[in-house]
Amino acid sequence: MPSPLILPSRVRFFKRCGLPDPGDSCETWQRCHHLDLPKLGVIGLWREEQRAELALVLSAPRELGRLVGAGPGHLVTVEQWLLARLAAVRREQARRGGAA
């Protein structure tokens, strides 16, 4: 694996925020559309919630305004994707009877 120091800034940003690349693999496509959440355990859901919240808090406004692909011909901002991820995690927690 390449050193984090030589990764392009966009790749580092995507990894830090947990943003998936929908064309990378079936798993990342599912993550992009939040279809991975039912498969996660309680701790996994909590981690996803924390990751989205932290990315929203720590990202600069210019980073949150970047466009990311969410499928063929479908672009959303980083902020929109993170908010959708957070909402999807909380719906899944509520579906399971956990805290929302």
What tokens does 60 get?
């600069």
* Average pLDDT rounded to a whole number, residues 6-22: 61
Arithmetic mean of pLDDT, 21-29? 75
Q: What is the Cα–Cα distance from 38 to 66, expressed in whole angstroms? A: 28
Whole-structure pTM value:
0.78
The residue to which tokens 């693999």 are assigned:
25
| pLDDT (0 to 100) of residue 16 | 63
User: Mean pLDDT over residues 21-48, rounded?
Assistant: 87
Q: Is the pLDDT of residue 48 over 50?
A: yes
Q: Is 9 helix (H, G, I), strand (E, B) or coil?
A: helix
